[in-house]
């Protein structure tokens, strides 16, 4: 596969120009100069010229929706914008009709955003079945026995935030489709760094926040809702922008819901967030998600290899299809390691006693080796 001009993209990120080796994208991604310029332009227009900018913003909104759809291999009418991943998932949890005894399958190392919306359903008599991880992995053979005739939904992170394990969504999707189980995916740790095909993976619902691998600000997210899932969802919350022709007939109050996933956008959207997401998604798609995935996996391969002589081990090694952008390292004193790396302007993070390294498409092999050289001194 052809490589891309990585040096050109490195120049887009002020954090690189400041001399920091930033490999903490699983927590928060940095903003590019393209994002900064677009937000600055938006704010200047809103403060000086195009203050009432609803009509002028529609092309950006439409194109951002198209970018998100392209990222997931779907159509723009299946994309809705939200403020964060949790509230997107709450749409699914609150919109389905639940009966006492219905069951949901989760796992025991999920990020809380993909747990609490479903735990909240216990008040309706819904039961939660937790799949136990095997050394940081959630395996098909452990999910399948949890499926029962009362299982209504499975929700799983595409990539686990702590261990970096990438789930086999194709196999899980096949199992769910055969049994009529709704398949929900939290893609905040995969969107923008690995390829996602909601059709090929038979995903019914997917949510992703923009502040990590998508490198947009906090407070902007999007969801994919399949046509079939939309038909099953009751409109638990309804807003004035949920209906057809909402801007044309303000006082003809009617329950005429839009046919697209836009019906779940209940009011004014985060235009600054969408402006940012438009630029960051545009950059990622310009590079190509397949190229990004290959590059990031090459970086993780190199790090895993270099750790072995130091007698340090990544939580998830093995085949590339089981990994994405997160390499969590088992060390005796993670805080001490992170502190030493920070003094050398290498930014990673500690999560539950692990050093979590998460490089992106503009990071280099040389930066991985720099990190390793610091680890050698500890």
What's the CATH number where 112 sits?
Answer: 3.40.640.10
Q: Where is the domain boundary, 285, 315, 336?
A: 285
CATH code of the domain covering residue 309 = 3.90.1150.10
Same domain as 372, residue 298: yes
Which residues, other chains included, contact 53 with Cβ-Cβ below 8 Å and sequence gap of 6+? 45, 46, 271
Residue 267 belongs to some domain of the structure: yes
Per-residue pLDDT of the chain (378 residues), as tens digits, is 558 999 999 999 999 999 999 999 999 999 999 999 999 999 999 999 999 999 999 999 999 999 999 999 999 999 999 999 999 999 999 999 999 999 999 999 999 999 999 999 999 999 999 999 999 999 999 999 999 999 999 999 999 999 999 999 999 999 999 999 999 999 999 999 999 999 999 999 999 999 999 999 999 999 999 999 999 999 989 999 999 999 888 999 999 999 999 999 999 999 999 999 999 999 999 999 999 999 999 999 999 999 999 999 998 988 999 999 999 999 989 999 999 999 999 999 999 999 999 999 999 999 999 999 999 988
Helix 365-377 to helix 289-307 angle, to the nearest 10 degrees? 20
Residues 193 and 138 in one domain: yes
156 and 185 fall within a common domain: yes
Is residue 1 in some structural domain? no
> Does residue 327 share a domain with residue 268?
no
373/341 same-domain check = yes
C-alpha span between 264 and 137 (Å, rounded): 33
In this structure, the answer to whether residues 240 and 358 fall within a common structural domain is no
- Decide if 71 contacts 257 (C-beta within 8 A): no
Residue 225 within a domain: yes
Answer yes or no: do 165 and 229 share one domain. Answer: yes
Do both 329 and 306 map to the same domain? yes
Token output for 327? 């390499």
Helix (H, G, I), strand (E, B) or coil at 295: helix
Tally of domains in the chain: 2
> SS3 for 28?
coil
In terms of C-beta distances under 8 Å and separation of at least 24 residues, what long-range contacts does 218-221 make, across chains too?
Answer: 218/28, 218/84, 219/83, 219/84, 219/270, 219/273, 220/81, 220/83, 220/270, 220/273, 220/274, 220/276, 220/277, 221/81, 221/82, 221/83, 221/84, 221/85, 221/87, 221/88, 221/188
Q: Is residue 270 part of a domain?
A: yes
């Amino acid at each position: 596969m052809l490589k891309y001009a990585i040096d050109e993209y490195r120049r887009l990120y002020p954090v690189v120009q400041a001399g920091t080796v930033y490999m903490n994208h699983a927590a928060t991604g940095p903003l590019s100069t393209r994002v900064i310029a677009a937000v600055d332009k938006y704010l200047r227009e809103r403060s000086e010229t195009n203050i009432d900018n609803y009509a002028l913003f529609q092309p950006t909104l439409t194109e951002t929706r198209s970018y998100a759809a392209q990222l997931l291999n779907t159509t723009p009418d299946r994309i809705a914008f939200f403020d964060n991943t949790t509230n997107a998932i709450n749409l699914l949890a609150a919109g389905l009709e639940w009966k006492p005894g219905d069951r949901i399958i989760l796992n025991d190392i999920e990020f809380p955003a993909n747990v609490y919306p479903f735990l909240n359903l216990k008040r309706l008599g819904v039961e939660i079945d937790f799949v136990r991880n095997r050394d940081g992995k959630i395996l098909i053979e452990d999910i399948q026995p949890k499926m029962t005739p009362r299982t209504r939904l499975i929700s799983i992170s595409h990539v686990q935030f702590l261990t970096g394990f990438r789930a086999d969504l194709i196999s899980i999707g096949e199992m769910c489709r055969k049994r009529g189980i709704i398949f929900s995916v939290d893609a905040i740790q995969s969107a923008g760094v690995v390829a996602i095909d909601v059709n090929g993976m038979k995903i019914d619902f997917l949510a992703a926040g923009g502040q990590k691998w998508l490198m947009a600000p906090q407070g902007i997210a999007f969801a994919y809702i399949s046509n079939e899932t939309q038909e099953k969802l009751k409109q638990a919350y309804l807003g004035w922008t949920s209906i057809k022709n909402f801007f044309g007939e303000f006082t003809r109050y009617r329950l005429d819901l839009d046919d697209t996933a836009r019906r779940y956008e209940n009011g004014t959207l985060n235009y600054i967030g969408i402006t940012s997401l438009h630029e960051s998604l545009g950059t990622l798609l310009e590079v190509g998600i397949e190229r990004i995935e290959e590059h990031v996996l090459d970086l993780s391969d190199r790090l895993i290899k270099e750790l072995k002589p130091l007698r340090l081990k990544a939580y998830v090694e093995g085949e590339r299809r089981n990994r994405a952008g997160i390499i969590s390292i088992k060390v005796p004193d993670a805080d001490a390691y992170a502190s030493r790396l920070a003094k050398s302007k290498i930014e990673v993070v500690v999560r539950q006693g692990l050093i979590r390294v998460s490089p992106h498409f503009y990071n280099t092999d040389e930066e991985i080796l720099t990190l390793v050289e610091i680890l050698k001194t500890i």
